[in-house]
A and B are shown apart, each in its own frame.
Chain A
Amino acid sequence: METLAISLVNAVPLLAGVPLWTVTLLLMVAVAAVILVFALTFEGVGSLVLRKVAGDIQARIGPNRVGPNGMLQFLADGVKLVLKEDIIPANADRLLFKLAPYFVFVGSFAAFVVVPFGVGLIAADLNIGIYYVMAVTSLVVIGVLLAGWASNNKWALLGGMRAAAQIVSYEIPVGMALIPAVLIAGSLSLQDIVRSQGGLLGIFGWNLFHNPFTFFSFFLYFTAAQAETNQTPFDLPEAESELVSGYNVEYSGIRFGLFFLAEFGDMFIVAALLTACFLGGWNVPFFNAGTLPWIWGNLLSLGVFLTKTFTMVLVMMWVRWTLPRLRVDQLMRMSWKYLVPLTFVNLLGVSLWLLVFRGKGIPGMIASLFG
């Protein structure tokens, strides 16, 4: 960000007298605003798409009244949420009750910072990108737990407890399933991971096809991430038919809206990580977008990235509208007896593979056979 600020100061003579830190700060705020707008738009559109997909799958139409073909439904929903009365239960812990939605929203929004949207489109290319995402999204647990506790509602409390147990247990398989990508790239930075999947192999350069173990990692991560973002079949913290609405049962208006937005934000983050770590990220197949002029290169790679990400989001919705929900003990069993051992075995497999074949994947080996 600072380098960008320096080049900006150099380019625009008007800014010559302004201290460098001010420019940097302003630039950061501007970037944050752009990402916020993007996140909110995605979350709005995501909710619309979710309902449309649900409609299609369930042999009905879905929202189609607001705007052409229901396109503006999410705006109507948003306006409704903002205008609704903000109710705080009489015996709630008011401070924590108000604080909880922000925790959840911040946790999901802050992860957008390291999402590699394009060749140069990344708010902060942290060298600990993946760890940052995992750390920041864990903030959601605190928010959910606070919400459940502060509501002074036993259903909400149960939802909060479930969420805490669930997210904490699934943190391990999520991390373990992502490590193969880190091993292959040799870096925790998401940009580096994406770049490692570029090259002349096209889609066979993706980590997904690198070796059998990475192939499995993709599905393991997908499953574990579904659980971490509380999507069906792992939507126990919400569990509409059991806990009514779980931790957010007492929330209304914009506070509920924040939970709602965070849910879609999480969905995007998971899909983005899937894309970045396994599906080649913003890499345009058989083409190096970095060679194009800055603006076109970035636009092209952004398009590729978003296409892949949205496809993954759609698949997540598809799963969501097909499967029933697990029970709490089954959820825990799934994490500790299935996903954790499998991800460890997988990690071992990837490490051995990399050691034995000196970092080469199957497509790479085949390619080198043919010169």
Chain B
Amino acid sequence: MTIRTDALPTQEMTINMGPQHPSTHGVLRVILTTDGEVVTRAVPDMGYLHRGLEKIGERVTYAQYMPFTDRLDYLAAMNCNCAWAWTVEKLAKIEVPARAEYLRVIVCELNRISSHLIAFGSYTADMGAFTPFLYAIRERERVNDLFEMLCGNRLTYNYARVGGVSGDAPPGFLEKTKEFLDYFEPKLDEYNNLISYNKIFVHRLANVAVISAEEAVAYGLTGPNLRGSGVPFDLRKDEPYSVYPKFDFKVCVGTGERGTLGDCFDRYMVRINEMRESVKIVRQAVAQIPDGPVRAKVPRLFKPPVGEAYFRSECPRGETGIYLISDGTVNPLRLKIRTGSFVTMNIFEKVTRGLMIADVVAVIGSFDIILPEIDR
């Protein structure tokens, strides 16, 4: 799409997109300056969901902060739970029982599946096909059922604990997990047939908002958005934590199969393929899980030593890095949460220049942002 600048003089129009808009994935507000349908500038305006999670962290104890991490990214609460637990454990050098680590990996990967399902589903809904969204929700409900069985809640799990997890898997959980994986794996091919390779869908996504590998690194993109640009960087592989080194899986990267490397379609396809890899990881974890305790002894009045730790883990929306400073009291001195969505929004203004309004929706969907993570 080229814009003729020598055409008749026209006036630019400022449009307010959001905070109530069906496809801004929450309360994101974008101030669009458009020339007809072509966006000349799109400035994101965030903060509508700012709850001061970092400030809250300074007045609650390390254990009490766990439920708040659920609210960090409600579609991948398990990953945030575990990220917090791993950070505190890194700071206080706590050894976690092997079974707990396996359980954490299982729930993290299941949550990654359910989060990517929402990403896939809401993306297709943004593109105008509502049906795949409901199929995705259907599958996600099954994951929620599993989590409900495990920890008693369907959305805000609060499952991980400093030093382990809140409870062992109930009998039948691992079997049901396997059942789900068997059910879920063929569905991915169905999605690909239904929508991924649909001509219209491909045309909407391919060659839109291309981000080169250098740009992606410079702007600090992480997770599927970085891998969509062809950078094979996955914290689970490259900075292994927990028991991830024990599993065999592939790092999915964009290939530019239907357009340019680093376009919306690549980012979308990375997520679809990652679900397959997550299935693989969960299968291995379920097969290998050892017996034993699920919680290390952590004093009730837990005081980590004075120190600072930065821990990053691979969440569905990119790297969630927690920078934690302890002054030796029961409360953290400062914690900063660096989330994938927040950093991704930095590049938004750059990539949306010159796209059409419908493409802005495609870009938001392909970044798979979630507002609580941006606003915290």
The answer to A–B direct touch (Cβ < 8 A) is yes
Q: Which residues of A contact B (CB under 8 A)?
A: 54, 57-60, 154-155, 158, 161-162, 232-233, 235, 239-244, 321-330
Q: Are B134 and A324 in contact (CB under 8 A)?
A: no
Chain B minimum-CB-distance residue to A153 = B15
Contacts of B128-152 to chain A: CB distance below 8 A: 128-131, 134-135, 138
Q: Are A241 and B357 in contact (CB under 8 A)?
A: no
CB-CB contacts of B351-362 with A at 8 A, as 1s and 0s? 000001111010
Q: Are B15 and A154 in contact (CB under 8 A)?
A: yes
B125 proximal to A (CB < 8 A): yes
Return chain A residues, CB-CB under 8 Å to B194: 322
Instruction: Tell me which of B89-97, B200-208, B339-347 binds A.
Output: B200-208
Complex Cα–Cα for A316 and B346 (A): 42
Q: Are A60 and B134 in contact (CB under 8 A)?
A: yes
Chain B minimum-CB-distance residue to A154 = B15
B289 to A: closest C-beta gap in Å: 32
Complex Cα–Cα for A161 and B38 (A): 13
Chain B minimum-CB-distance residue to A233 = B200
Residue among A60, A324, A328 having the largest count of chain B Cβ atoms under 10 Å: A324
Residue among A54, A240, A241, A325 having the largest count of chain B Cβ atoms under 10 Å: A241
A233 to B: closest C-beta gap in Å: 6
Q: Are B129 and A59 in contact (CB under 8 A)?
A: no
Return chain A residues, CB-CB under 8 Å to B22: 240-241, 244
Q: Is the interface of B mostly helix, strand, loop or mixed?
A: helix
Q: Are B134 and A59 in contact (CB under 8 A)?
A: yes
Chain A minimum-CB-distance residue to B37 = A328
The list of the 3 closest CB pairs from A to B, nearest first, reads A325-B128, A324-B129, A324-B127
A336 to B: closest C-beta gap in Å: 15
Q: Are B125 and A329 in contact (CB under 8 A)?
A: no
B70 proximal to A (CB < 8 A): no
Chain A minimum-CB-distance residue to B13 = A154
Q: Are B23 and A242 in contact (CB under 8 A)?
A: yes
Q: Are B361 and A158 in contact (CB under 8 A)?
A: no
Complex Cα–Cα for A241 and B364 (A): 12
Return chain B residues, CB-CB under 8 Å to A59: 134-135, 138
Q: Are B130 and A327 in contact (CB under 8 A)?
A: no
B222 proximal to A (CB < 8 A): no
A58-B131, A155-B15, A241-B126 known; A323 vs B198 contact (CB < 8 Å): yes
A230 to B: closest C-beta gap in Å: 12
Seed contacts A324-B129, A325-B128; 10 additional CB < 8 Å A-B pairs: A241-B125, A241-B127, A242-B358, A321-B130, A322-B129, A323-B129, A323-B200, A324-B200, A324-B204, A327-B203
Complex Cα–Cα for A330 and B237 (A): 40
Of B37, B128, B138, B357, which contacts A324 at CB under 8 A?
B128
Return chain B residues, CB-CB under 8 Å to A322: 129, 131, 194
Q: Are B358 and A328 in contact (CB under 8 A)?
A: yes
Q: Are A326 and B203 in contact (CB under 8 A)?
A: yes
Q: Are B124 and A324 in contact (CB under 8 A)?
A: yes
B218 proximal to A (CB < 8 A): no
B118 to A: closest C-beta gap in Å: 15
Chain B minimum-CB-distance residue to A236 = B358
B287 proximal to A (CB < 8 A): no
Residue among B15, B130, B198 having the largest count of chain A Cβ atoms under 10 Å: B130
A53 to B: closest C-beta gap in Å: 11
Residue among B128, B131, B204, B359 having the largest count of chain A Cβ atoms under 10 Å: B128
A58-B130, A242-B361, A244-B21 known; A324 vs B13 contact (CB < 8 Å): no
Of A57, A158, A235, A324, which contacts B195 at CB under 8 A?
A324
Return chain B residues, CB-CB under 8 Å to A244: 21-22
CB-CB contacts of B213-253 with A at 8 A, as 1s and 0s? 00000000000000000000000000000000000000000
Complex Cα–Cα for A163 and B3 (A): 21
Residue among B23, B198, B200 having the largest count of chain A Cβ atoms under 10 Å: B200
Q: Are A232 and B128 in contact (CB under 8 A)?
A: yes
13 contacts between A and B (CB under 8 A): A58-B134, A158-B15, A233-B128, A242-B358, A321-B130, A322-B129, A322-B194, A323-B198, A325-B200, A325-B204, A326-B200, A327-B358, A328-B358
Return chain B residues, CB-CB under 8 Å to A162: 37
Q: Are B195 and A327 in contact (CB under 8 A)?
A: no
A155-B15, A233-B128, A321-B130 known; A241 vs B198 contact (CB < 8 Å): no
